[in-house]
Chains A and B, each alone.
Chain A
Amino acid sequence: MLDSAFFHRWTVAVAAAVDREADRLTELDSAIGDADHGSNLRRGFAAVVDAQGEDPPGSPGAVLGFAGRKLISTVGGASGPLYGTLLRRTGKALGETPEVSVAELAAALRAGTDAVAQLGGAAPGDKTMLDALIPAVEALETAAEKDDTKDDAAAAFRAARDAAESGALATVPLRARKGRASYLGERSVGHQDPGATSAALLFRTFAEIAEVAEATEAAG
């Protein structure tokens, strides 16, 4: 089961990962966007970590809801309301329960992803963050149902990470149909989508945190 400390560690680790990858995200964004994706997300997640402090709130839903609100108010670009909506809606779906299963998280992330699609009006294949998010959520749902992975959070998150990273890579040949990149038409082809890349980073971080938790349990 995943508790609020797990999600608190996840937000801190995402902030570190975004900080580490900010230049790469901005570089991807300078090819087809307005070159602010890395710096915007860095500002947003740094604000989340700063505001949430050391002690996590009592439930995973509260951790994600707080982070989502903070992203909306601090990012300054479209990734703020989009990631903010993802986390807030996921948090809302999780409710106030103190511990959640991978299956519950997968269902909540599905609700969050649907809310992102509704807010931005994008569909799979439009070369957006959804192209990483949707396969990741599907992989997490599948892993949460399979007998050999349903009790193994780290394995489930690895499957989600792999699906997200494949999804992000698969945006390279796509033509952008949403956001500023869509103005470029055919010229958006051949570049990896920055939003799909940062979405994959969220799932890579889930896998890392789950592996650390697993190793700690084994050692304990």
Chain B
Amino acid sequence: MSDPRVGLVLVSHSAAVASAVADLARGLTGGGPTAPVAAAGGDPDGGLGTNAELIAQAAHEVDEGAGVAVLVDLGSAVLTVKSLLADEDELPPNTRLLDAPFVEGTIAALVTASTGAPLDAVEAAAAEAYTYRKT
């Protein structure tokens, strides 16, 4: 059994966006197996929104014991994750909401997590994505 890696959960209002960003990050990470990443998009009826149960399920699925990093788009995605974190038994221990841009932050986080880096390093890499200016 290899060392545990940080797992990633991607929370978007859109199921398609969450799973496409997961695919994009896996594709750009390349080079062997990546850290576990799970998409949790859409509301409980399959529409646009947030599904707390899906988020909790995804977090447990990617948890290898090294911590779970949650990346979110906006609004209810942010608030739902924060309220789940406020309740101690909903998410695996050492689950953290990252303050990062959704797409760029996810790619940075997955590349970093896939090297076996700890949660602090994954969080720092994702947050650093904010500093990259495009113009």
Contact with A along B73-116 (1 / 0, CB 8 A): 00110011011101100000000000000000000000000000
Interface residues on B, range: 10 to 19
Partner of A73, one of B49, B53, B75, B76: B53
Complex CA–CA separation, A78 to B80 (angstroms)? 7
Are B79 and A119 in contact, with the CB atoms below 8 A?
A: yes
| Given A43-B45, A85-B86, A73-B52 contact (CB < 8 Å) | yes
A20 touches B (CB below 8 Å): no
Report yes or no: A76 in contact with B49, Cβ–Cβ below 8 A: yes
Tell me whether A69 and B44 are in contact (CB under 8 A).
no
Q: Is the interface of A mostly helix, strand, loop or mixed?
A: helix
Q: Flag if B76 contacts A77 (CB, 8 Å).
A: yes
Assess the B79–A36 pair: CB atoms within 8 A: no
**Contact A43 B44, beta carbon cutoff 8 Å:** yes
Q: Which residue of B lies closest to A40 (CB)?
A: B49
CA distance A69 to B83 in the complex (A): 9
B45: which A residues are within 8 A, CB to CB? 43, 76
A73-88 interface bits toward B, Cβ cutoff 8 Å, 1 = contact, 0 = none: 1101111111011001
Bound-state Cα–Cα, A119 to B78, Å: 9
CB distance from B49 to the nearest CB of A (A): 4
Instruction: Please tell me if A190 contacts chain B, counting CB pairs below 8 Å.
Output: no
Q: Assess the B79–A76 pair: CB atoms within 8 A.
A: no
**Interface contact A72-B75, CB-CB below 8 Å:** no
Q: How far is the CA of A85 from the CA of B82 in the complex (A)?
A: 10
Nearest CB of chain A from residue B76's CB, rounded to whole Å: 4
Q: Does A187 contact B (CB under 8 A)?
A: no
Nearest neighbor of A73 in chain B, beta-carbon distance: B52
Write out the residue numbers on chain B whose beta carbons fall within 8 Å of the beta carbon of A80: 50, 52, 76, 79-80
In the complex, which residues of chain B have a beta carbon less than 8 angstroms from the beta carbon of A85?
83, 86
**B47, CB-defined interface residue at 8 Å:** yes
Kindly state whether residue B128 has any CB partner on chain A within 8 Å.
no
Q: How far, in whole Å, are A8 and B14 apart by their CA atoms in the complex?
A: 34
Shortest Cβ-Cβ A-B pairs, 10 listed: A76-B43, A76-B49, A81-B83, A78-B76, A81-B79, A73-B52, A81-B80, A77-B76, A78-B79, A72-B52
Residues of B within 8 A of A (CB): 43-45, 47-53, 75-76, 79-80, 82-84, 86-87
Pairs A–B under 8 Å by Cβ, sample size 5:
A76-B44, A76-B51, A78-B76, A82-B79, A85-B86
Extra contacts besides A74-B52, A77-B43 (9): CB < 8 Å: A69-B87, A72-B80, A73-B53, A77-B50, A77-B75, A78-B76, A79-B76, A88-B87, A180-B75
